[in-house]
């Protein structure tokens, strides 16, 4: 019999565990937040939890009391003892019981919470107290309970009661105190006396660990190892008769065996008629008042420890759990639950579909099926799977298709069967509404067509012309197929006959608004409109322009290129589910509700409690149950549960420090003692008093926090310092603000918070004054004025005395200076007469100089006339040449000259023509004299001495200049640079040009070559005594034809500089020649002169300029 009983108990226990596990599998995990002893820097064991008026959490820990504001932890010692129990009275005062200690927390003079002990008020009969396990702050006073004593403290009045055996636990419910005394029974306090609770004899040997109101007529009693009981409160009334068997009755639940095995330790009532029960070794179960299991919280649901010593429900519906190892809390009304690999769901999720009443999920590692026992993988199928889709045959039978990395599969009896021989990637599906038994597939290299034929799906092939990776596709109301082309854009085609892969009118739309990358695109048909969502926002197809334009139906940020979007699904109610993002991996999920007028209203913060990540699919089902596939796992959203959108309850300025971390405020302000002699605390977030700081304490740091648990990391703050800042700061997650070197004055720091639901908190403020430094006080200014007045008086007095003595000296000096001035006046008159005489003499000299200048100018003009007369007439060569000459002396007369000589012969073939351009040393009158000498010597050498070889001509000219200037004895540096050509016409329409040069070159142009060529002369000077590089002059011969051009020039044009001190250069000279070479020679000369003037602008001409150009004419018969 014992074995059968053990077997039955074991079966029931395992059945209960199975029930708990399957319940967890159905709903998934609720968010649970765990803190271990390293997080709060305390002991691992925690015994009680309460929340003050500000929303801060207080935890009874073996090291004392720990305060938590949602961000930071603070420790409050209770005289070095461990704390075991906590409660809060109507004034917000926190009462503490611990090892041989009772007392409360209140603000001290440093604005910090401090423990104040009242142990000294205890009667000696209760000393030592031992471990105080329970404390209850009631209207009658504060009850403290240890094993050996029950105390009631109210001011200086202390009452105590001793147990019959020992006080195991005490409870306070419905305004009464209950005390459990093992072996004696359950008692209650009435008229200052502990009386046995009627009808509880059967419970006297059971350890009670919880008592709480069940309803207005019953209490719920929790035994350690015998489950739950109900106690009928009518048994305590004198006017009601209750049957003995109905006073205490068993409360049966779905978790009775679980509670027996895991030992009840505490309980707490929850909203919606629910009860949370903490156990010693099984975590927490939540049941309703019918005993039905609602939720389990244990290791399997991510609770860090299953030994739960205390439960507490805060003002945000968070259930806090004081554990044997840490502290945890979870929201009891969250619409979101979560499945990950700990519940058997592996990989990054891609798609969700319900098929044959089962949920199927595709992921990066295969396909899973959700069952009552968890997630079951499709066997022997570990391929990267993309979209799952339901396909229907013409007789309305449903089939499950899967697109994978290596082809298309059909899921049949939880096995995967390949469709066709296509072995590349498949990303998406859409069923045709126009053609029965047809499904279009988005492939890695175009669009494919599936057909249901003879009872199975077959792969027909690819649509010709479709290319690229197709992540999304749809069929519009006109039967046209739209599909995305990764990195390219959107394409469209008209399906003519899908059974034969016939399609036409293929067109691509590569220019989408704001030039998106087109990597992660989605195409959807919404309210008859083709909408494309990209990394640059949302756009829709405009049929009138045959293009895509920005779409603002979901918000302007999706129509200006600033925010990316991907529409995931439109549910049966028309609501749109989509992900939005600024940066690619950090995406958030939103739902836009559809209204009857076909507009959409977003609820941006509805899912912001989900971490940012990539979302791939949303499946919306009946009863507003929604499944969300993401990279991190699967979320279940129950739309029937109202999301927590409450405002932030409190915002607190937690701490204020000045220079060198000097603490001036630590979160609370001390108030006068109340009527009972207890210290009181001001917890208001807005300080009414104004703190005064010394002038040197003008660098201040404010620390602030909001106890909005579960979303602390997503709370943002904005602040302003009145008296210093002009505007509120930008919203930020920073929880401190530092101001440095504040000037003296009155200030008010104001801060507010905003949660993920965009709800703002009431403001918190802190007023303070920075005193003036001593040197800016009114007394200091009076002293400054007095010192200034004394300085002015001393200054004026000294200055007056100095002026008087100075005045006497000045009078004597004036008399002496007057005499000197009279003498100076007489001398000035004499000097003035001398200056007038000198002026008259200078005027005579000026007139003489003017006459001399006039005569010199006249002489120069005459010399210019003479020089022009000796220059040859180039028109005498018009039968052979077309010419231009650019001749610009630097002064009135020039040191440059050009020279020609024509030696006739009996026939034209024997005629010789000499042409030369000579640059003499210097310019002006000296240069002109040199040019006359040079011209005369050239004529003598060629015409009289009959020397016709150009090199010999230059050599003879060199000797003649040396002799004429007697440079062998005079050491004269004067000389000439020259270029000379002998032109002969030996053959019809061909000219022989023999060139020799003294430091000069010959430029020539041959028709049709499009370039200026250069013949360089010898580096040898005519005349002068400087050594030459070349020992002698040499001839160079070229053959030219009609329309060819030769150019002779001095260096004056190429050496000229402009305003930027840059030279005209030979290359620019050549460019000007080439630009105009086909024009008449006269025009060429004019163009070169114009280009030169544009280059030179207003710069002074630095040298004489001579340019002679000759173009050979064609021979006339």
Instruction: Decide if pLDDT at 49 tops 90.
Output: yes
- pLDDT score, position 77: 95
Q: Is the dihedral of CA 449, 452, 454, 455 positive or negative?
A: positive
Instruction: Decide if pLDDT at 316 tops 60.
Output: yes
- pLDDT score, position 25: 47
Question: 0.85 exceeded by the pTM?
Answer: no
- pLDDT score, position 1001: 93
Name the more confident of 741 and 646. 741
Query: Contact 749/653 with Cβ under 8 angstroms?
Result: yes
Alpha helices (runs of H) in 542-640, residue ranges in sequence order: none
Domains, the chain, ordered by start = 48-162 (2.130.10.10), 383-510 (2.130.10.10), 514-612 (no CATH), 652-775 (2.60.40.10), 777-855 (no CATH), 871-1112 (3.60.40.10)
- pLDDT score, position 13: 44
Task: Write a three-state SS string for 931-980.
Answer: HHHHHHHHHHHHHHCCCCCHHHHHHHHHHHHHHHCCHHHHCCCCEEEEEE
**Burial class of residue 1062 in the structure, from the number of CB atoms within 10 Å of its CB (0-12 exposed, 13-18 middle, 19+ buried):** exposed
Provide Rg for the chain, Cα atoms.
Answer: 55
Instruction: Decide if pLDDT at 19 tops 50.
Output: no
Among 137-141, 837-841, 883-887, 1029-1033, the minimum mean pLDDT is found in 837-841
**Joined tokens for residue 773:** 């430094």
Instruction: Decide if pLDDT at 534 tops 70.
Output: yes
Residue 688: band (very low, low, confident or very high) from pLDDT cuts 50, 70, 90: low
| Cα gap 513→490, rounded to integer Å | 12
| Cα gap 919→936, rounded to integer Å | 15
pLDDT 10s digits, 837-873: 888 888 888 877 887 777 766 766 777 777 777 788 8
Residue 1116: band (very low, low, confident or very high) from pLDDT cuts 50, 70, 90: low
Residue 6: band (very low, low, confident or very high) from pLDDT cuts 50, 70, 90: very low
**Joined tokens for residue 155:** 């001011």
- pLDDT score, position 346: 86
| Phi and psi angles of residue 719, each rounded to the nearest 5 degrees, phi first | -145, 165
- pLDDT score, position 855: 73
Residue 607: band (very low, low, confident or very high) from pLDDT cuts 50, 70, 90: confident
| Cα gap 486→517, rounded to integer Å | 8
What is the CB neighbour count within 10 angstroms for residue 1110?
Answer: 27
Q: Which residue spans within 519-661 are E strands per DSSP?
A: 522-526, 529-534, 537-542, 547-550, 564-570, 576-583, 586-594, 600-602, 615-621, 625-630, 634-638, 652-658
| Residue from 437, 449, 431 nearest 390 by CA | 431
| Cα gap 144→78, rounded to integer Å | 15
Name the more confident of 5 and 974. 974
- pLDDT score, position 930: 85
- pLDDT score, position 848: 77
**Joined tokens for residue 670:** 């001390």
| Cα gap 106→680, rounded to integer Å | 6
Residue 519: band (very low, low, confident or very high) from pLDDT cuts 50, 70, 90: confident
**Burial class of residue 1026 in the structure, from the number of CB atoms within 10 Å of its CB (0-12 exposed, 13-18 middle, 19+ buried):** exposed
| Cα gap 338→612, rounded to integer Å | 15
Query: Contact 143/170 with Cβ under 8 angstroms?
Result: yes
pLDDT 10s digits, 233-258: 988 887 777 787 788 999 999 999 99
Q: Are strands 358-363 and 349-355 parallel, antiparallel or unpaired?
A: antiparallel
**Burial class of residue 713 in the structure, from the number of CB atoms within 10 Å of its CB (0-12 exposed, 13-18 middle, 19+ buried):** exposed
pLDDT 10s digits, 756-769: 777 888 889 999 99
In this prediction, residues 1014-1021 reach a mean pLDDT of 92
| Phi and psi angles of residue 863, each rounded to the nearest 5 degrees, phi first | -65, -35
C-alpha pair distances (Å), 1054 with each of 120, 592, 1062 = 114, 79, 10
Instruction: Decide if pLDDT at 42 tops 60.
Output: yes
Name the more confident of 16 and 554. 554
Name the more confident of 574 and 243. 574
- Cis peptide bond N-terminal to 94, omega within 30: no
| Residue from 1069, 1051, 1102 nearest 918 by CA | 1051
Give 1014-1017's long-range contacts (Cβ < 8 A, gap of 24+).
1017/979
Among 134-138, 671-675, 775-779, 960-964, the minimum mean pLDDT is found in 775-779
Residue 723: band (very low, low, confident or very high) from pLDDT cuts 50, 70, 90: very high
| Look-up of token digits 């280059």 | 1095
Residues 6 or more apart from 476 whose CB is under 8 A from it? 482, 525, 530
What average pLDDT does the structure give for the chain? 88
Please tell me what DSSP assigns to residue 202: G
Instruction: Decide if pLDDT at 283 tops 90.
Output: yes
C-alpha pair distances (Å), 321 with each of 267, 273, 356, 497, 718 = 11, 20, 41, 66, 32
Residues 6 or more apart from 874 whose CB is under 8 A from it? 881, 883, 885, 900
**Joined tokens for residue 349:** 């999720």
What percent of the chain lies above the pLDDT cut of 70?
95
Q: Is the dihedral of CA 127, 133, 137, 138 positive or negative?
A: negative
In this prediction, residues 1005-1013 reach a mean pLDDT of 90
- pLDDT score, position 833: 81
Query: Contact 105/98 with Cβ under 8 angstroms?
Result: no
CB crowding 312-348: b at 16 or more within 10 Å, else e: bbbebbbbbbbbebbbbbbbbbbbbbbbbeebbbbbb
- pLDDT score, position 1027: 80
- pLDDT score, position 712: 56
In this prediction, residues 19-34 reach a mean pLDDT of 66
pLDDT 10s digits, 874-919: 888 888 899 999 999 988 888 899 999 999 887 777 889 999 999 9
- pLDDT score, position 290: 94
| Cα gap 474→429, rounded to integer Å | 8
Residue 9: band (very low, low, confident or very high) from pLDDT cuts 50, 70, 90: very low
Among 84-88, 302-306, 442-446, 704-708, the minimum mean pLDDT is found in 704-708
Residue 188: band (very low, low, confident or very high) from pLDDT cuts 50, 70, 90: very high
């Amino acid at each position: 019999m014992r074995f059968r009983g053990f077997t039955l108990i074991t079966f029931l226990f395992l059945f209960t565990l199975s029930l708990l596990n399957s319940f967890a599998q159905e709903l998934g995990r609720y968010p649970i937040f765990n803190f271990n002893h390293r997080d709060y820097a305390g002991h691992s064991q925690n015994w009680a939890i309460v929340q003050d008026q500000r929303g801060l959490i207080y935890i009874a820990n073996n090291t004392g009391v720990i305060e938590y504001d949602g961000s930071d932890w603070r420790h409050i010692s209770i005289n070095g003892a461990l704390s075991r129990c906590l409660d809060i009275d109507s004034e917000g005062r926190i009462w503490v019981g611990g090892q041989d200690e009772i007392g409360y927390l209140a603000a001290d003079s440093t604005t910090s919470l401090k423990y104040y002990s009242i142990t000294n008020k205890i009667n000696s009969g209760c000393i030592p107290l031992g471990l105080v396990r329970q404390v209850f702050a009631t209207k009658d006073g504060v009850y403290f309970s240890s094993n050996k004593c029950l105390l009631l403290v109210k001011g200086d009045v202390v009452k105590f009661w001793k147990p019959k055996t020992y006080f195991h636990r005490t409870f306070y419910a419905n305004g009464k105190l209950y005390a459990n005394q093992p072996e004696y029974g359950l008692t209650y306090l009435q008229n200052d006396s502990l009386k046995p609770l009627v009808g509880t004899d059967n419970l006297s040997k059971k350890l009670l660990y919880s008592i709480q109101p069940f309803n207005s007529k019953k209490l719920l009693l929790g035994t350690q190892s015998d489950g739950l009981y109900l106690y009928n409160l009518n048994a305590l009334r004198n006017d009601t008769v209750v049957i003995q068997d109905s006073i205490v009755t068993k409360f049966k639940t779905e978790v009775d065996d679980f509670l027996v095995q895991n030992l009840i330790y505490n309980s707490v009532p929850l909203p919606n008629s629910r009860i949370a029960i903490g156990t010693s070794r099984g975590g927490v179960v939540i049941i309703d008042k019918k005993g039905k299991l609602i939720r389990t919280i244990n290791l399997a649901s991510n609770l860090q420890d299953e030994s739960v010593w205390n439960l507490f429900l805060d003002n945000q519906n968070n259930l806090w759990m004081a554990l044997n190892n840490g502290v945890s809390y979870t929201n009891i009304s969250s619409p979101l639950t979560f499945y990950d690999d700990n519940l058997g769901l592996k990989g990054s999720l891609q798609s969700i579909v319900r098929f044959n009443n089962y949920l199927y999920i595709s992921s990066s590692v295969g396909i899973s099926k959700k069952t009552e026992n968890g997630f079951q993988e499709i066997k022997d199928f570990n391929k990267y799977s993309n979209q799952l889709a339901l396909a229907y045959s013409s007789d309305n039978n449903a089939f499950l298709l899967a697109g994978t990395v290596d082809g298309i599969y059909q899921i049949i009896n939880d096995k995967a069967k390949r469709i066709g021989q296509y072995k590349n990637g498949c990303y998406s599906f859409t069923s045709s509404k126009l053609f029965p038994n047809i499904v279009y597939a988005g492939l890695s290299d175009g669009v494919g067509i599936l057909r249901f034929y003879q009872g199975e799906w077959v792969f027909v092939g690819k649509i010709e012309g479709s290319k690229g990776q197709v992540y999304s596709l749809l069929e519009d109301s006109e039967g046209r197929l739209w599909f995305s082309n990764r990195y390219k854009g959107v394409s469209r085609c008209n399906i003519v006959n899908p059974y034969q892969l016939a399609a036409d009118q293929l067109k691509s739309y590569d220019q989408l608004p704001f030039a998106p990358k087109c990597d992660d695109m989605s195409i959807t048909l919404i309210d008859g409109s083709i909408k494309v969502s990209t990394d640059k926002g949302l756009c829709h197809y405009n049929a009138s322009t045959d293009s895509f334009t920005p779409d603002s139906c979901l918000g302007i940020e999706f129509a200006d290129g600033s925010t990316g979007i991907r529409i995931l699904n439109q549910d049966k109610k028309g609501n749109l589910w989509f992900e939005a993002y600024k940066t690619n991996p950090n995406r958030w999920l939103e739902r836009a509700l559809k209204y009857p007028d076909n507009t959409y209203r977003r609820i941006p913060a509805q899912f912001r409690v989900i971490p940012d990540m990539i979302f791939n699919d949303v499946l919306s089902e009946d009863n507003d149950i929604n499944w969300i596939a993401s990279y991190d796992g699967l979320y279940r959203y129950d739309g029937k549960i109202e999301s927590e959108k409450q405002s932030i309850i409190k915002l607190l300025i937690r701490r204020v420090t000045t220079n060198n971390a000097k603490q001036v405020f630590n979160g609370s302000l001390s108030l006068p003692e109340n009527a009972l002699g207890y210290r009181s605390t001001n917890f208001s977030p807005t300080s009414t008093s104004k703190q005064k700081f010394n002038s040197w304490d003008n660098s201040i740091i404010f620390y602030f926090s909001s106890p909005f648990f579960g979303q602390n990391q997503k709370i943002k703050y904005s602040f302003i310092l009145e008296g210093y800042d002009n505007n509120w700061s930008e919203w930020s997650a920073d929880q401190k603000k530092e101001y440095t070197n504040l000037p003296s004055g009155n200030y008010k720091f104001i801060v507010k918070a905003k949660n993920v639901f965009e709800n703002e908190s009431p403001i918190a403020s802190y007023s303070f004054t920075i005193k003036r430094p001593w040197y800016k006080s009114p007394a200091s200014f009076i002293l400054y004025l007095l010192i200034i007045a004394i300085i002015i008086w001393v200054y004026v007095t000294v200055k007056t005395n100095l002026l008087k003595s100075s005045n006497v000296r000045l009078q004597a000096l004036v008399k002496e200076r007057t005499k000197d001035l009279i003498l100076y006046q007489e001398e000035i008159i004499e000097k003035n007469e001398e200056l007038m005489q000198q002026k008259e003499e200078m005027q005579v000299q000026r007139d003489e100089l003017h006459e001399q200048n006039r005569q010199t100018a006249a002489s120069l003009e005459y010399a210019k006339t003479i020089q022009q007369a000796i220059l040859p007439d180039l028109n005498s060569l018009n039968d052979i040449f077309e010419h231009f000459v650019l001749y610009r002396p630097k002064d009135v007369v020039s040191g440059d000259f050009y020279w020609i000589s024509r030696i006739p012969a009996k026939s034209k073939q024997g005629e010789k023509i000499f042409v030369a351009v000579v640059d003499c040393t210097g310019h002006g009158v000296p240069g002109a004299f040199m040019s006359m000498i040079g011209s005369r010597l050239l004529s003598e050498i060629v015409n009289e001495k009959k020397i016709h070889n150009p090199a010999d001509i230059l050599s003879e000219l060199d000797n003649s200049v040396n002799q004429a200037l007697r440079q062998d004895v005079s050491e004269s540096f004067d000389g000439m640079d020259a270029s000379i050509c002998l032109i002969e016409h030996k053959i019809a329409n061909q000219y022989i040009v023999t060139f020799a040069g003294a430091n000069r070159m010959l430029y020539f142009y041959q028709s049709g070559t499009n370039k200026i060529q250069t013949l360089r002369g010898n580096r040898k000077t005519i005349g002068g005594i400087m050594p030459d590089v070349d020992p002698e002059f040499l001839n160079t011969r070229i053959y030219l034809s009609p329309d060819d051009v030769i150019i002779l020039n001095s260096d004056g044009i190429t050496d000229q500089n402009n305003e930027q001190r840059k030279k005209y250069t030979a290359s620019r000279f050549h460019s000007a020649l080439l630009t105009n070479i086909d024009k008449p020679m006269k025009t060429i000369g004019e163009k070169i002169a114009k280009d030169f003037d544009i280059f030179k602008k207003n710069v002074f001409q630095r040298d004489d300029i001579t340019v002679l150009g000759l173009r050979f004419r064609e021979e006339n018969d």
